[in-house]
Chain A
Amino acid sequence: MDRTQRPRSVLDSLGEELIGILTPVSICMFTVVLLVCLLNSDPSSSASFSSIATAAYSETDSDSPWDKLLGAFLNSLVFVAAITVATFLLVLLFYLRCVRFLKLYMGFSAFVVLANLGGEISVLLIDRFRLPVDSVTFSILLFNFSVVGVLAVFMSRFSILITQGYLVVIGVLVAYFFTMLPEWTTWVLLVALALYDLAAVLLPVGPLRLLVEMAISRDEDIPALVYEARPVIRDDSRLVQRRVWRDRRSSQNDDDLENNEVVNVVVRAEEEEQRSEISVPLIERSRPESSETFLEGIGLGSSGAIKLGLGDFIFYSVLVGRAAMYDLMTVYACYLAIIAGLGVTLMLLSVYQKALPALPVSIMLGVVFYFLARLFLEVFVVQCSSNLVMF
C-alpha cells in the first residue's frame, strides 16, 4: 500500500478551527501563569493594585471571612455597574454613528495598555532577572512596540500573525494586572461578570444585544478588539491556503464576491482604571450551503473564522492566574474546565447560530473545578503521592 496514494482520511483536518481558537487561549493562559509564577515568588514585594474594582473595599488580611465576602460583593457590584454604564455609553455612541471616535479611542486605549502595562511588567521582569538595560533604550523599544501594536490592531492589511500576537499580548498584560486584585474580590468578580455577560447578551434589554441588532441592521462591523482565528480556505485540489492578510469589512466596502456573510457580533465594554477596551465575546460567520465547505456537516463554516472577544481571553487568564497563586494542580484543573466550557459554548454556537456569551459556562466550570480541586483533590493526591502510592 503506497502511503502517498492513500486518500485523505476525514480525521486529517477535522476540528482545525477549534484548535485555531484553543491555541491562542492556551498560550495566553500559559503566559499569565508563567508571569504569576515568576513575579509573585517574592511575597515581600506585593504592590497594591487599586482600581475601580477595589474602590468600595480594599481587603486586608485581618478581616473576618464574612467581611471579606461582603467587601468582595460591594467591589463586584461597583465594577459591574461601571461596565454596564460604559456599555450603554458605547451603545449610544454607536447609535449616533460616532464610529470614528470609537475607533480612535480604542487605538488610544490599546496604546496605553501596551505602553503603560507593558512597561510596568517589563520593569518588573528586568528587576527580577537583573537584565542590563538602560532607560533610553528601554523607552525607545517600548514606544516602538506600542506603536506597532496599535497599527497591527487597527490597520487592515496587516500580517495576521502579528495582529494575533499583539492581541494575545494585550490580553496577557491586562489579565496579569487583574490577578493582582485581592483574592475574594477576584472570585466574586469573575462570577459577577459571568452573570452580567449572560444577562447582557441574552436579555432583550441587554446592551450587548442592542448593539448586535444595530450592527446587523446596519451591516457594519463594531469597532472592537477581537481575536480572529486564521480562516482556512479550501478548494477542490485539497490545497489549504491560509489567509495571510486580515480582511477588514467596513460599511463602505461591498460584500465578498464569493459569499454573503452574516456577522453576529456581541460587544462588551470593560472599564479598568481609566481605559476602556471593547471586546467581543463570540462571533460566527456562517456560509451559505452552496459554497464548498469541507466541514459543513459539523456546523462551523470552514472559511468563516471563529472570533473570540479579547475580554474572554482576559478573564479566562485571570481565573487561571489566580489558580496559579495556589498550586499547579488547581491550574491544570481550571485550565481543563475552561477549555471544556469553551468547547461547550462553541457547540451551542453551532446549534443556535446566534451570538452567545462566551464567559458564563467556562467561568462557572472553572470556579467549580477550582474549589473542588482545592478542597478535595489536593488532600487526596498529596496523601497518596507522599507515600508513593499511585494508580
Chain B
Amino acid sequence: MHRSFEIIGKVMTVAAGIGYALLALGPSLSLFVSVISRKPFLILTLLSSTLVWLVSLIVLSGLWRPFLPLKANVWWPYTLLVLSSVCFQEALRFLFWKLYMRLEDVLDSFADRISRPRLFLTDKLQIALAGGLGHGVAHAVFFCLSLLTPAFAIIALAFVTIHTFSMVIAFEGYAKGNKVDQVIVPVIHLSAGMLTLVNFASEGCVIGVPLLYLVASLTLLHCGKMVWQRLIESRNQSGPTLR
C-alpha cells in the first residue's frame, strides 16, 4: 500500500514537472517543430546561439564568483549584477550579428556558385528567429529547468519571448542601421532584468510579473510590426519583376 502511494506521488511529481517545463518551453517547442526543424541549418543556428549564451553566462559567473554568495535580502548588488550581465550580453549579441553577416556572405557566394538564388528576406528572418530562440531556450533551461517551480516557469516564458523576438529586431536593426531598433533591444533587455529585481519586495512578484509580460508583449508587437513592414517593402520591390 505504502509503495503504491509512493509511486503515485512520484508520478504526480513527474507530471507536474513536465507541466512546468512545458509552461516555460511550450511555445518555443511549437516554434521549433513548425519552423526550425524543417531546415537543418536553422537547427545548427539554434545550437550555436545556445552555445554563445552559455559561454556568456559562464564568463559572467566566472567574473562574479569572488563576490558570491551575496548577502541575503540586500538588493543593490543584484542591480550591478543585472546591469553588467545585460551589457555583456548585448555586446555579445552585436558580435554574434557580425559573425552572422560574415556567414551570410559565405552563404550568398555559395549560392551563386551553385547557381541558386541568394538568401531571401524570410531566410534571414528565420535565421534571426532561430538565433533568438536559441538564446531563449538556453535562458529557460539554465534559470528554470533545474529548479522547476511555477514561478520560474512563468518568468522564463516571458524571457523566452523577449529573447526570441528581440534577436529578430536586433538583426534587422543592425542590418538596416535603424537607430530605433538598435537602441530598443538593450533597453528592453535591461528593463526586463530590472523588473525582476522588483521581486525582492514582499509580494513584489505580483507587480513584477505582469509588467514583465507587458514588456514581452511590447517586444512581440514591435517585432511583428517591423517584420510586416519589411515583408511589404520587399514584396513591393520584387513584385513587378517576378512575373
Residues in A lying within 8 Å of B, measured CB to CB = 1, 6-16, 18-19, 22, 130, 294, 296-298, 327-329, 332-333, 336, 339-340, 343, 369, 372-373, 375-377, 379-391
Contact = CB atoms under 8 A, between A and B. Distances in A.
A19 B45 CA distance: 12
A17 B82 CA distance: 40
A377 to B, nearest CB: 5
- What 6 pairs across the A-B complex have the smallest Cβ distances? A380-B61, A391-B193, A388-B199, A19-B40, A376-B61, A10-B111
A14 B44 CA distance: 10
Interface in B23-67: 39-44, 47-48, 50-51, 54, 57-58, 60-62, 64-65
B242 A380 contact: no
Most chain-B CB neighbours within 10 Å: which of A16, A298, A388?
Answer: A388
Given A7-B117, A383-B70, A327 B196 contact: no
B68 interface: yes
Nearest to B113: A297
A332 B40 contact: no
Contact of A388 (B41, B51, B151, B239): B151
Contact of A16 (B40, B57, B69): B40
Contacts of A340: 47-48, 51
A10 B78 contact: no
Contact of A390 (B118, B127, B196, B239): B196
A10 B116 CA distance: 7
B147 A379 contact: no
A390 B40 contact: no
B110 A10 contact: yes
Nearest to B65: A376
Interface of B: 3, 7, 39-44, 47-48, 50-51, 54, 57-58, 60-62, 64-65, 68-70, 78, 81-82, 85-86, 89, 107, 110-111, 113-114, 116-120, 123, 126-127, 139, 141-147, 151-152, 155-156, 159, 189, 192-193, 196-197, 199-200, 205, 208, 235, 238-239, 242
A293 B208 CA distance: 55
Given A380-B64, A390-B143, A9 B123 contact: yes
A376 B66 CA distance: 10
Most chain-A CB neighbours within 10 Å: which of B114, B144, B192?
Answer: B114
Contacts of A130: 3, 7
Contact of B196 (A339, A383, A388): A388
A337 B131 CA distance: 17
26 contacts: A1-B242, A9-B119, A10-B116, A10-B118, A22-B43, A298-B110, A329-B145, A332-B54, A336-B51, A369-B54, A369-B58, A372-B62, A373-B58, A377-B57, A379-B61, A379-B69, A380-B57, A380-B64, A382-B147, A385-B144, A388-B152, A388-B155, A388-B208, A390-B139, A391-B82, A391-B193
A389 B39 contact: no
Nearest to B197: A389
A301 to B, nearest CB: 14
Contacts of B107: 10-11, 14
Contact of B58 (A7, A10, A343, A372): A372
Nearest to A379: B68
Given A16-B40, A376-B62, A391-B189, A381 B50 contact: no
Given A11-B39, A12-B39, A388-B196, A329 B142 contact: yes
Contacts of B145: 328-329, 332
A18 B40 contact: yes
A333 B144 CA distance: 14
Given A10-B116, A12-B39, A384 B47 contact: no
Contact of A13 (B40, B69, B89, B235): B40
Contacts of A13: 39-40
Given A1-B235, A391-B189, A381 B142 contact: yes
Contacts of A376: 58, 61-62, 65
A1 B62 CA distance: 51
Contacts of B113: 297
Contacts of A375: 65
Most chain-B CB neighbours within 10 Å: which of A11, A22, A386?
Answer: A11
A391 B68 contact: no
A294 B44 CA distance: 19
Contacts of B156: 390
A1 B3 CA distance: 63
B68 A383 contact: yes
B146 A9 contact: no
A11 B119 contact: yes
Nearest to A11: B123
B20 to A, nearest CB: 13
A340 B47 CA distance: 8
Given A10-B111, A15-B43, A384-B143, 13 more contacts: A1-B242, A9-B117, A10-B119, A11-B123, A332-B142, A376-B65, A377-B57, A380-B64, A382-B147, A384-B78, A385-B143, A388-B205, A391-B192
Nearest to B61: A380
B90 to A, nearest CB: 11
Nearest to A5: B242
Nearest to A368: B58
